[in-house]
Structure 1
Amino acid sequence: MASFFIVSKGVSPGTSAALSSLFFIGIILGRVISGFLSTHVSSKNLIRYGGIVGCVGLVILVMPIPYWIAAGALFIVGLGGAPIYPSIVHATPERFGEKASPSVIGLEMASAYTGSTLIPLGMGLIASQWGMSMVPLILLILFSVMFVATELVNRSNKATRLTV
């Protein structure tokens, strides 16, 4: 996101790097907070609330706003994204059954690593073609698709069970 601040917001490289760290601070604080909340809030709701908070942060980031507000929005995105992956993994036995859980968790982890490898490449290609201002918009689309997909699974009436 440092490149986004440099190109789209006109911020110096040093300041951009410092502002980008707010995303990671948001993840750290979000993981700590969601860890405490996990004793009282279900994984399904942690995913839901994280998705809502992350989408709000990305909507703010997409707007034509000053860089210091965008930095706050980046913190909000990290805060919202923090509980999602751990909660998805935690909910796996409930959603897919104890027997299938190890295989499904392996697929979840492989998917996460594949995404963390390919999404920066895709973002770089998109940014080189259409500009850095498209990056938050694409992230908002991806975050929204994830949110809608998890809500569809949450609202499914039949339990998803795999047999291995």
Structure 2
Amino acid sequence: MATILLVIIYLAFISLGLPDSLLGAAWPVMQADFGAPLETAGLLFMTIAGGTIISSLVSGRILKRFGTGRVSFFSTLMTAGALLGFYFAPSVYWLFLCAIPLGLGAGAIDAGLNDYVAAHYKAHHMSWLHSFWGVGATIGPIIMAQYIAGGTSWSNGYSAIAGIQFVLAIILLLTLPLWNKGKNNNKVLSEEAEESKERLDHAKNVKPVQIKGVKLALISFLFYCSAEATMGLWGSSFLVNVKDLPAAAAARWVSFYFAGITIGRFITGFITFKVNNRTLIRMGQIIALAGAILLFLPFPSAFTLAGFILVGLGLAPIFPCMLHETPARFGKKHSQTIMGYQMAVAYTGSTFMPHVLGFMASHSTIGIFPFCIVLLAAAMFLSSEKLNRLLNMKDIKSSIDVTFNTPK
């Protein structure tokens, strides 16, 4: 029963990823059709992410009242309707109206499924869960590229994705009884979470945000999602306007970036059996930074494509591993609250940073895109390493306290 339910959860995360990469892939064509400024895509993306932040913040109460299964079904249905609204959009203002339910639906299902998997499944399932988000994010630009290359409108691409979302919503509706059964039958817990004792039991009155290292963790999430979202939204525009690629080809190249995230997370699920989360996070950040540097250097287009793939592969393990490290870093007592903070800050990064780049690019050139990716990747690496040093010092101090305070 738990395995069947896990398959349903993976399908739900595919539906979460499908819309995320569509706007960036289609915007070079959409911009011309609507006669909109370049930075409009950033505002649309910010609207979507803003809805996601709001629904994430209130998701705890909604999930407790209605359950993860029902919330996942309704959220998928909401995003399907929003995507259908993009298909019928007569103007940019209509796009902004449809962006609101698109973001609200995404936030609720994201928070709910992450919490459910963290509570009921082992560590490697978290990486595989986010790998299936990458499946959806990879399929989206591929479908959009086919419609653009075929001479049909980008709106037909949105219509096709909306149809897939409606099918996934029906599947979630038919499998609602599995959620309660899976919750009762599934006793598989993360071994790492069990081994992670309550580090902070002695600090019962300490607010989660005041725990040492939490702010650095939040900064790491901010820079991670800023880099991931900026790559997905503006990568196609960079390739069209700077590398002179056709819009359809640029959309396919962006799909390789999302494919890198997808494949990387699938592989990470197996690597977690041998390598700890901190090492995987560090390795991913170094690979992502190397890929970003390739985008920045004036090399032929083949190196740019390699840069897109490397950034995707590097980003792959970072997000799921940081999520799974939360109980180990800060204790299980506060992990749920801190997890919510991390998701909210992550969405804040994806809300504002792409818009900031779009604003700067519209007043200069989209050629600043690779420079911004390098800065974001470097900032993420530095904040994460500073957090690791702080946590290592805490571990050493805790070991000393245990040694000298243990009764002889």
> Helix, strand or coil: the match of 1:64?
coil
> Helix, strand or coil: the match of 1:99?
helix
Aligned-pair identity in percent equals 38
Q: Would the aligned equivalents of 1:92 and 1:101 in 2 still touch at CA under 8 Å? A: yes
Identify the residue that residue 265 of structure 2 maps to in structure 1. Answer: 31
CA shift for structure 1 position 139: 1.4
1:121-147: CA deviation from partner (whole Å, max 9, x where unpaired): 112112112311111111111111110
Identify the residue that residue 100 of structure 2 maps to in structure 1. Answer: none
> Separation in 2 of the partners of 1:67 and 1:89?
35
1:44-96: CA deviation from partner (whole Å, max 9, x where unpaired): 11110000000000001101122222011101100000111111111111111
> Separation in 2 of the partners of 1:109 and 1:95?
16
The correspondence for 1:69, drawn from 293, 298, 303, is 303
The correspondence for 1:51, drawn from 277, 280, 285, is 285
**2:266 aligned partner, one-letter code:** V
> Separation in 2 of the partners of 1:53 and 1:130?
29
> Separation in 2 of the partners of 1:142 and 1:102?
27
1:13-53: CA deviation from partner (whole Å, max 9, x where unpaired): 11111111111000001111111111111111111000000
Identify the residue that residue 91 of structure 1 maps to in structure 2. Answer: 325
CA shift for structure 1 position 112: 1.5
Determine whether 1:158 maps to 2:386: no
Identify the residue that residue 357 of structure 2 maps to in structure 1. Answer: 123
Comparing 125-134 with 68-77, which one deviates more in the overlay? 125-134
> Separation in 2 of the partners of 1:65 and 1:21?
21
Larger Rg: 2
- Alpha-carbon RMSD across the aligned residues, in angstroms, is 1.1
Determine whether 1:78 maps to 2:305: no
**1:132 aligned partner, one-letter code:** I
Structure 1: state its 5+ residue gaps.
160-164
The correspondence for 1:107, drawn from 341, 356, 360, is 341
> Separation in 1 of the partners of 2:326 and 2:242?
39
> Separation in 1 of the partners of 2:277 and 2:362?
37
Structure 2: state its 5+ residue gaps.
1-234, 396-408
Determine whether 1:145 maps to 2:373: no
Scaled by the length of structure 2, the TM-score of the pair is: 0.38
Scaled by the length of structure 1, the TM-score of the pair is: 0.93
CA shift for structure 1 position 119: 2.0
> Separation in 2 of the partners of 1:144 and 1:126?
20
Q: Would the aligned equivalents of 1:61 and 1:70 in 2 still touch at CA under 8 Å? A: yes
